[in-house]
């Protein structure tokens, strides 16, 4: 008789929700923290190449992002992991010698003006990490293009990391190295592919180990935490476009594999362009979005004034996402284009 | 070739059918009291024929069909009518119902009945017998079966499609019916083909039920132009439109019915039920119900009289565990959570699923991160992201105008995949309800 009473008592505490009553195990924080986790190898590689400076710069950027999210964001929004991603990604696209206060400011600006002003998670049109970086690029053009070499002693600081805000500090002895893209653009020199893939070149913290980013992003794609169509589309467009240019004039234009593995393209294609919030929701839209980024990257790199164009390419395409979404709505089941209906009736 | 028999999009919830798929159907003893709501089918509720104090016998009509889209309701046990009034309905609402207190020592044997000889009847008479038997779709929607059997003259029906997909997680009623009563299924198919005047029938079964596919294959009568087809395991494979797409490769146009593409879809349980009418003469007064879920002590497949209270069924199945949070009538994807376990099993209840806090949806809802997973899940190719953002600000009319709300069949695939746990499908159901209410108000004014 105990069971019988259990069914009666239960009536008071039964959940009353509308169907469906089941939920897939995926959740937004789970996706976000998986992205963070997948970035760990990339972060480790950055530390391997750039020593304590890498740790300091990334921590500063993360602190800026988390700090602003904590103060101005929604309650508990720190725990959804999205601000942490912004901080890490921003840190990864800064040079190791960046003064820490600038990195901190970039993280804070990215979250505040790239995300929170629009209403927080899910509402922002632009990738917050790239907004932060664009701000730094505009405000401190020299600091953000001073690339320390990977060849320094591991424990050494790679630049004026500890300059006080708004003061020009004494820079320690830093061996700088041009980035592969800078080398190509200004010297006409093409870095060999192996160095590019292994990351043994000058550049931002996360610009280096191309092959590692590919593997980490591949993991996310396998778990459906990023839309594989976006990186594949970007790589394909960049490859085809630069291959055509290379075939036309091998002297004036860089080889396609160099284009794919140099600069921020790998990190941008895998982690920035695939930001769910700022990329299209339709799969056709994802292809268009990726194609647009690929073309813009090549255009800016080859004909623009800057050696690198991934950041602006993604930000520009971010702006088009609402239009892409509207234009690429799939045909609803059971709805047929008017032309076809007329044909069928005729 | 069969590998591709499916529709696009859809989701893959864990099936959990292993709890009951090997448990044979058994009859549950008669309870002390049964409750028969007058609204057990889509369409107009039945018209009451009895009054308090009347004695009814098993199989007697207690309410008659009120119009064409309606069916009669029969007493599922012998007893005395002790009350007529509002009672909890398994769809989560209240409905007018007849309460019958069973005679303690009644043998519950129905009085001898005329068994219609279907061979001698013309299609109209077969259909009339189906309506007289109170038959409705047993797959969950409970749409009166005879309505589907009388297509207007200007549409040509090519195929009878028997739905054995049973894509809802946990449920195994159709599975057990197919495994245990293959001959009855084929007998029903034969009758239905005659009633519809079609030359071809196909039984579609998800491939997670290989035994059912094999047994039906073996039991197939030689002379019948029919086939058994294995379908990809995917939710909502058992939705009419998805089944037609999978088997026939045709899309039912928006706002149209399966008959407009030449198909009539019937649930396999309904088919078996029709066969039973012509075997025994008994109307639809009992049905198979899967009682399952991690919260049930002894899960199983039961043959219960229509009107048996959920409470009594759960008690018969060893009661429910202490950590149960939800009791659902129907499957967990489209069924209704029960506020009151006094509600009876009606003709359309396919299962009773008790979920615990582990399976229930989490409470926390996050912002939409535009991941697009819902677009990839929606079998109707709608944009739940857009519809959800409109629903959140109650712009229901816009949802219908801009986002094809009326094509949504509330299968719940979008809510299932949403990582932010946004109750999309739930909001769409609300939107449809609100729009419908508005429309009714306008027509009334």
Q: What is the DSSP code string of B28-97?
A: PPP-SEEEEES--SSSSPPEE---TT-EE-TT-EEEE--SSS---EE-SS-EEEEEEEEEE-TTSSEEEE
Q: Which of A40-44, B75-79, B119-123, B201-205 is the least confident region?
A: B119-123
CB nearest A27 (choices: B326, B372, B421): B421
A122 reaches B (C-beta below 8 A): yes
Task: Spell out which residues of chain B touch residue A2, defining contact as CB-CB under 8 Å.
Answer: 319
Determine whether the interchain pair B314/A7 forms a contact, defined as Cβ–Cβ distance below 8 Å: yes
Average pLDDT over residues B22-42: 94
Q: What is the pLDDT of residue B111?
A: 76
Residues 241-260 of A with CB under 8 A from B: none
Task: Spell out which residues of chain B touch residue A8, defining contact as CB-CB under 8 Å.
Answer: 311, 341
Task: Spell out which residues of chain A touch residue B291, defining contact as CB-CB under 8 Å.
Answer: none
Q: What is the pLDDT of residue B210?
A: 94
Q: What is the pLDDT of residue B246?
A: 93
Interface test with B, best of A5, A17, A19, A282 (most B CBs within 10 A): A19
Determine whether the interchain pair A7/B256 forms a contact, defined as Cβ–Cβ distance below 8 Å: no
Distance, in Å, from the CA atom of B349 to the CA atom of B277, rounded to the nearest integer, reads 19
CB nearest A276 (choices: B361, B371, B429): B371
Average pLDDT over residues B106-131: 83
Q: What is the pLDDT of residues A76-88, one digit of tens each?
A: 888 889 999 999 9
Q: What is the pLDDT of residue A344?
A: 57
CB B143 within 8 A of CB B137: yes
A114 reaches B (C-beta below 8 A): no
Q: What is the pLDDT of residue A167?
A: 65
If one compares B180 and A78, the residue with the highest pLDDT of the two is B180
Determine whether the interchain pair A332/B404 forms a contact, defined as Cβ–Cβ distance below 8 Å: yes
Residues 249-308 of B with CB under 8 A from A: 251-256, 297
Mean pLDDT of all residues in chain B?
92
B332 reaches A (C-beta below 8 A): yes
Average pLDDT over residues A280-290: 96
Which ranges in A93-185 belong to alpha helices (H)? 100-114, 128-139, 180-182
Average pLDDT over residues B316-340: 91
As a whole number of Å, the end-to-end CA separation of chain A is 71
Q: What is the pLDDT of residue A288?
A: 97
Q: What burial letters (b/e) apply to B206-220, b meaning 16+ CB within 10 Å?
A: bbbbeebbebbeeeb
Q: Which of A209-213, A264-268, B174-178, B216-220 is the least confident region?
A: A209-213
Q: Which of A194-203, B80-89, B154-163, B413-422 is the least confident region?
A: A194-203
How far, in Å, are A106, A169, A172, B354 from residue A163 at the CA level? 15, 5, 11, 63
Residues 221-240 of A with CB under 8 A from B: 224, 227
**Confidence grade of residue A5 (pLDDT, cut at 50, 70, 90):** very low
A151 reaches B (C-beta below 8 A): no
Mean pLDDT of all residues in chain A?
87
Does residue A182 have a pLDDT over 90?
A: no
Q: What is the pLDDT of residue A264?
A: 87
Does residue B310 have a pLDDT over 60?
A: yes
Q: What is the pLDDT of residues A122-177, one digit of tens each?
A: 999 999 999 999 999 999 888 888 888 777 778 778 777 787 776 665 555 667 77
| B226-231, strands of its sheet edge to edge | B226-231, B200-206, B159-164, B263-267
Does residue B112 have a pLDDT over 80?
A: no
| Virtual torsion, Cα B188, B194, B198, B200, nearest 10 deg | 40
Does residue A112 have a pLDDT over 70?
A: yes
Determine whether the interchain pair B425/A227 forms a contact, defined as Cβ–Cβ distance below 8 Å: no
What residues have CB less than 8 Å from A172, skipping those under 6 apart? A157, A159, A160
């Amino acid at each position: 008789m105990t069971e019988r009473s259990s069914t009666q008592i239960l009536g008071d505490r039964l959940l009353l929700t509308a169907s469906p009553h089941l939920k897939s195990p995926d959740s937004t924080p789970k996706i976000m923290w998986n992205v963070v986790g997948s970035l760990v190898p990339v972060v480790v590689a950055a530390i391997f190449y750039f020593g304590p400076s890498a740790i300091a710069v990334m921590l500063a950027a993360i602190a800026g992002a988390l700090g602003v999210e904590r103060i101005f964001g929604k309650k508990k929004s720190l725990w959804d992991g999205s601000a942490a991603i912004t901080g890490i990604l921003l840190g990864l696209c800064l040079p190791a010698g960046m003064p820490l206060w600038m990195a901190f400011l970039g993280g804070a600006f990215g979250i505040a003006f790239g995300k929170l002003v629009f209403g927080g998670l899910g509402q922002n049109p632009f990738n917050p990490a790239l907004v932060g970086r664009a701000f730094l690029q505009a405000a401190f053009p020299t600091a953000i293009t001073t690339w320390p070499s990977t060849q320094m002693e591991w424990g050494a600081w790679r630049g004026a990391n500890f300059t006080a805000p708004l003061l020009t500090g004494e820079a320690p002895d830093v061996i700088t190295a041009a980035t592969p893209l800078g080398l190509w653009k200004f010297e006409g020199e093409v870095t060999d592919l192996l160095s590019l893939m292994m990351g043994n070149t000058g550049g931002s913290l996360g610009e280096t180990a191309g092959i590692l980013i590919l593997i980490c992003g591949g993991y996310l794609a396998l778990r459906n935490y990023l839309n594989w169509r976006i990186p594949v589309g970007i790589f394909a467009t960049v490859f085809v476009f630069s291959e055509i240019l290379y075939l036309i004039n091998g002297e004036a234009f860089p080889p396609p594999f160099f284009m794919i593995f140099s600069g921020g393209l790998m990190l941008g294609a895998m982690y920035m362009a695939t930001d769910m919030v700022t990329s299209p929701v339709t799969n056709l839209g994802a292809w268009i979005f990726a194609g647009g980024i690929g073309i813009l990257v090549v255009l800016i790199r080859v004909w623009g004034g800057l050696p690198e164009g991934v950041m602006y390419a993604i930000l520009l395409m971010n702006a088009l996402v609402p239009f892409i979404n509207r234009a690429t709505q799939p045909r609803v089941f059971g709805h047929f284009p008017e032309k076809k209906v007329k044909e069928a009736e005729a | 070739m069969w590998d591709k028999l499916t529709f696009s999009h859809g989701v893959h919830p864990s099936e959990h059918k292993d709890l009951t798929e090997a448990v044979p159907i058994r009859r549950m003893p008669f309870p002390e009291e049964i409750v028969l709501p007058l609204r057990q089918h889509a369409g107009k509720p039945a018209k009451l024929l009895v009054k308090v104090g009347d004695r009814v016998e098993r199989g007697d009509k207690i309410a008659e069909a009120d119009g064409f889209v309606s069916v009669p309701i029969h007493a599922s046990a012998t007893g005395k009518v002790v009350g007529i009034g509002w009672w909890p309905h398994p769809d989560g609402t209240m409905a007018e119902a007849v309460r019958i207190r069973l005679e303690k020592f009644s043998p519950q044997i129905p009085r001898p009945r005329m068994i219609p000889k279907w061979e001698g009847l013309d299609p109209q008479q077969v259909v009339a017998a189906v309506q007289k038997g109170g038959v409705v779709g047993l797959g969950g929607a409970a749409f009166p079966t005879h309505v589907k059997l009388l297509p207007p003259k200007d549409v040509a029906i090519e195929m009878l499609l028997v739905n054995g997909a049973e894509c809802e997680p946990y449920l195994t009623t159709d599975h057990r019916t197919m495994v245990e009563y293959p001959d009855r299924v084929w007998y029903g198919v034969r009758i239905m083909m005659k009633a519809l005047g079609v030359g071809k029938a196909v039984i579609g079964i998800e491939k997670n039920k290989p035994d059912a596919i094999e047994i039906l294959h073996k039991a197939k009568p030689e002379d019948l132009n029919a086939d058994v087809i294995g379908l990809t395991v995917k939710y909502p494979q058992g939705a009419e439109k998805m089944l037609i797409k999978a088997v026939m490769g045709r899309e039912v146009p928006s706002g149209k019915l399966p008959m407009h593409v030449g198909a009539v879809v019937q649930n396999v349980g309904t088919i078996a039920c029709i066969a039973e009418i012509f075997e025994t003469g008994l109307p639809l007064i009992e049905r198979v119900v899967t009682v399952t879920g991690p919260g049930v002590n002894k899960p199983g497949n039961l043959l219960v009289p229509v009107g048996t209270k959920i409470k009594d069924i759960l008690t018969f199945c060893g009661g429910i565990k202490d950590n149960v949070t939800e009791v659902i009538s129907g499957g967990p994807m489209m069924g209704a959570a029960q506020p009151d376990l006094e509600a009876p099993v009606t003709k359309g209840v396919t299962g009773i699923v008790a979920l615990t806090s582990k399976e229930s949806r989490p409470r926390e809802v996050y912002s939409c991160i535009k991941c697009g997973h819902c677009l990839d899940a929606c079998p109707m190719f709608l944009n739940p992201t857009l519809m959800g953002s409109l629903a959140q600000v109650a712009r229901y009319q816009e949802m219908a105008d801009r986002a094809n709300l009326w094509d949504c069949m509330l299968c719940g695939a979008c809510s299932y995949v949403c990582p932010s746990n946004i109750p999309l499908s739930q909001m769409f159901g609300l939107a449809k309800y609100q729009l419908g209410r508005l429309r009714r108000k306008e027509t009334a004014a």
